[in-house]
Structure 1
Amino acid sequence: MQQPPQTLVFGLNYPPETTGISPYTGGMAEGLSRSGHRVRAVTAHPHYPDWKIAPGYGRWSHREHLRGVDVERLLHFVPADPSALPRAASEASFGARQMLTRWGRPTAIVAVSPALISSAFVRLRSLITHRKTPFVVWVQDLYGVGMTEMGRGGGVSARVICSIERWLLRSASMVVVIHDRFADRINVDFEVPLTRIAVIRNWTHLPPLPAIDVAAVRESYGWAADETVIVHTGNMGGKQGLHHIVDAGRLAHRRGERVRFVLVGKGSQRDSLKERIAQEPTTTEMLPPLDDAAFGAILQAADALLVNELPGVAEMSVPSKLTSYFASGRPVLAATDALGITAQEVRNADAGIVVAAGDPEAILEGARALAADPEEGARLGENGKRYRETVLNETFAIERFDSLLAELTGVAAAVKTPG
């Protein structure tokens, strides 16, 4: 009797973290388990986006069984300041822990990047002890492109990172990417054949959103009925460039415009944003992370949902928040590079408008434009929901990943009956 496939997943971020790539790593592992795989995930203790290990975690190693997945958590160095060098040291410490843990005899190995450096450590170990086991790199962000777009692409460290990224992707049995633009870049920049690149889109990890009393939710946050409320959720890091949103709120305050910007979440830039808000009056405010119910409600109660990126950020990543935004039925205001991936995704979905990145005036004008035409906003929001249900479909993504692993290993899973 054929044994079920045993899939070993390596990733820095995993539930209960709720932002970034964690929901996708966890969702894919759980989905493969439901499809008949025996899945083991080797991950870190929850620490993102606070860059602080969550209460109740932090032992040298810890094992638990979550939603059908055997999860092993390894303690690693978590920097208080996640700048380039401390972050690289953090990934290296995690990679060393992953290399030294027991791997067993998996039929396939999946490494999630980021983290690039720890994924490279895992690949090195696999070449020594599991050379014949198919090795898949699941690319959520492009490191080399990101360093260039963030203005750190000219130094020795950037060249080292690009060399690691090239080696890792070229050595993999298969590279899975989350967007066609990533596939093109990896093919051209790293000369990975398109036959070894698969596109599997991320999906909306929120359950279907229940109907809410919009007026009651808005009142609970102190939002007036005649205000235009623009909500941004998720990580408050460097590439989000949220200081421009504080400045857009400042501009709205000076002009007496009824436009409120709400930043929901946390991250490495939260404290500096809080200080910027306190410097002089602005209509921009901050809220802490919300549980799933409150998160879904605030998305639906907003007039529009904001994606904001630094000028020049165009190809390094696809904002994971878009999948949740599309599920809400609200239009998207994307302040980003007009030719970048984020702008392309919003236009492909026909789910919002795109304005110039780093321009508070353009951001405020975009908010006014959406508020001035509620019928158009409703149309854009419905288009986002349709795009979520068709293109960004979780069932399709997991089935595609399952089929890909079966092709690589020659071992097909016996599909389990849900429940």
Structure 2
Amino acid sequence: MTGEWRLGARSSRVSTSPETVEEEPASATDAAVGASGGAARRRTAPRVLFVGINYAPEPTGIAPYTGGMAGALAARGWRVQVVTTHPHYPWWKVQDGYGGWTRTETRDLVDVTRLRHYVPRRHTMVDRALSELTFGLRATLARWHRPDTVVLVSPAMISSRLAAVRAALTGVPTIVWVQDIYTLGARETGAVSHGAQGIAALERGLMNSADRVVAIHDRFRRVLQEDLSVATPVDVVRNWSHVKTDGAGRDSALRRELGWGDEDVVVLHAGNIGAKQGLENVVDASIEAARRGSHVKFVLLGDGNQRPALEAMGACSRLQFLDPLPDGAFERALASADILLVNERPGLTEMAVPSKLTTYFATGLPVIAAVDPSSITHDEVCAAGAGPCVAAGDPSALVDAAERLAADPAGAQAFGQAARSYRDAHLGIDAAVASFEATLQAAMVSGRRAAAGALAGSPSRRHRPVLHH
């Protein structure tokens, strides 16, 4: 999953009843009871259902974007429902205050149904697949609020495929929102030695069963269309910068509290600590910095399934692990670093767009990208002019880049200003929501055309049986 931190969300109503969310009255009934004003407009607005395994208040990965989009659409008058799990990522355990077979709540005008599913303690492909399968079965059998369109968030692909079957049987148009591409992940990480073709077929089938596909980058669209032969129209909606760090500034008191000395050049990596981040490179870089007597200090802020293994590589005076920080403290810590780091394992080129960049670019700090030169991340950092790129898996080059930035404050400041300008021009939420709304409308139009074609008896790839709830 992509790595990012802390999107605050409010809960105005929470029910821990084992019952699922009750079906709301249909629009005709709403009108009959005399609804008026904003409430009437909301009841007559189209319904959209998001089905995804991650959602706010999870602080990292896909959750901030699903939560942000759902909330923004609700604020614009859409009736939004989310079917998801209890918060469990990146800790891989359900968080305190959550749990139970089914839980309903309202967050930022969004009706949220949380379902218990299998949270794996191990992180094998089989365990991940079982986690998605259990959520997919429950999400498919959950009560849906008669949506006009369904957005399937991938990852998770297996649960999305199951929910797509229900949507097809009930004649509801679907959109697949692609945050990561499974096929590329299997290929580039080597996590799957057998069955890669089956994963590609499943992913292709999911995309081609949908009315529209949303990708988060132009290169994702190219991979889907050219490598996976996806025939469904693919729209690009960029992830946005959602963590507010503008004006935060360097906090000397917080630096002292975190153990960062005035002489330390803090290189901060924030987000998930997983396999695709390849953070062994950062541990090795810290050892190299200590060997040189460098002032560069590497800080890994976050959690994930690889953190214990990295900590077991040995303590080093130039390396620090920090647990996830709450809202406010996280933004202050980010702004109080000297350099921000995105690190990927060698060979990753297309599988992911690290969402941490949207936050990094907002800080006004320079960014070092230790990534493959042919990767999406490399292109994104270069397009923003955010900082130097060095080869993935080269710890000496990483230390060199940090020391050069520390020795050139004016150059470092120029990188940070360029990144913020890029954020302002290309990574705003208003443009993302407007584009997503256009995709929703297009999906609903294609769904109506398919229904009309089915009634007329015309053959079409979009011909699907329509069953009433």
Using the size of structure 2 for normalisation, the TM-score is 0.84
Match of residue 417 from structure 1: none
Q: Deviations over 1:367-408 (max 9, x none)?
A: 112112111111111111111111011011011111221232
Tell me the equivalent position of 1:400: 435
**Residue deviations 1:188-227 (CA, integer Å, cap 9, x gap):** 022224x700000000111353433433332222222222
The match for 1:228 among 255, 265, 276 is: 265
| Structure 1 residue ranges without an equivalent (≥5) | 412-419
What residue is the counterpart of 2:65 in the other structure?
A: 24
| Residue 251 in structure 1 maps to residue 288 in structure 2 | yes
1:136 equivalent to 2:175? Answer: yes
In 1, distance between residues paired with 2:165 and 2:243? 35
Aligned partner (choices 76, 84, 105) of residue 125 of structure 2? 84
Distance 2:306 2:439 in 1: 38
CA distance in 2, matches of 1:122, 1:305: 38
CA distance in 1 between partners of 2:56 and 2:336 (Å): 26
| Residue type of the alignment partner of 1:7 | V
1:187 aligned partner, one-letter code: Q
Q: Equivalences for 1:328-407 in 2 at 5 Å?
A: 328-407=363-442
In structure 2, distance between residues paired with 1:316 and 1:368: 30
1:283 and 1:70 map into 2 onto residues whose CA distance is 46
Q: Report the more deviating stretch, 99-108 or 202-211.
A: 202-211
- Length-normalised TM-score, structure 1: 0.94
Q: 1:137 is matched by which residue type in structure 2?
A: V
The residue identity in structure 2 corresponding to 1:75 is R
Deviations 1:316-370 (A, max 9, x none): 0000111110011101111000110000000111111110101111111111121
SS of the aligned residue for 2:55 comes to coil
Partner of 1:189: 227
Q: Percent identity, aligned pairs only?
A: 46
| Partner in structure 1 of residue 353 of structure 2 | 318
Q: Does 1:261 align with 2:302?
A: no
Letter aligned with residue 148 of structure 1: R
Question: 2:77 is aligned with what amino acid?
Answer: G
1: CA distance, partners of 2:427 / 2:179 = 15
CA distance in 2, matches of 1:116, 1:410: 25
**Secondary structure of 1:138's match?**
strand
What residue is the counterpart of 2:142 in the other structure? 101
Q: SS at 1:292's partner residue?
A: coil
Task: Give secondary structure in 1 for the equivalent of 2:372.
Answer: coil
- 1:140 offset after TM fit, Å? 0.1
Give 3-state SS (helix, strand or coil) of 1:406's partner.
helix
Gaps of 5+ in 2: 1-30, 32-40, 447-469
Asked if the contact 2:81–2:145 (Cα under 8 Å) also holds between the matched residues in 1, the reply is no
Cα distance in 1 for residues equivalent to 2:332 and 2:426: 23
| Root mean square deviation of aligned Cα | 1.5
Contact 1:332-1:353 within 8 A present in 2 as well: yes
1:147 to 183, 186, 192: 186
Number of residue equivalences: 405
Q: Does the 8 A contact of 1:277 with 1:285 survive in 2?
A: no
Range that drifts further, 85-94 or 215-224: 215-224
Rounded to whole Å, the distance in 2 between the matches of 1:215 and 1:54 is: 32
Instruction: Say whether 1:238 aligns with 2:264.
Output: no
Aligned 1:58-73 pairs, distance under 5 A:
58-73=99-114
1:274 Cα offset (Å) = 1.5
User: Aligned runs of 1:292-307 on 2, under 5 Å?
Assistant: 292-307=327-342
Q: Does 1:49 align with 2:95?
A: no
Q: Counterparts of 2:354 and 2:250 in 1: how far apart (Å)?
A: 28
Q: Residues 141-168 of structure 1: CA distance to partner in whole angstroms, max 9, x if unpaired?
A: 0000011100135412x22211110100
Partners of 1:170 and 1:190 within 8 A in 2: no
The alignment partner of 1:65 has SS state of strand
SS of corresponding position for 1:40 = strand
Does the CA-based 8 Å contact 1:252-1:282 persist in structure 2? no
Pick from 167, 172, 194: which aligns with 2:205? 167
Query: What secondary structure is seen at the aligned counterpart in 2 of 1:277?
Result: coil
Matches within 5 A, 1:104-115: 104-115=145-156
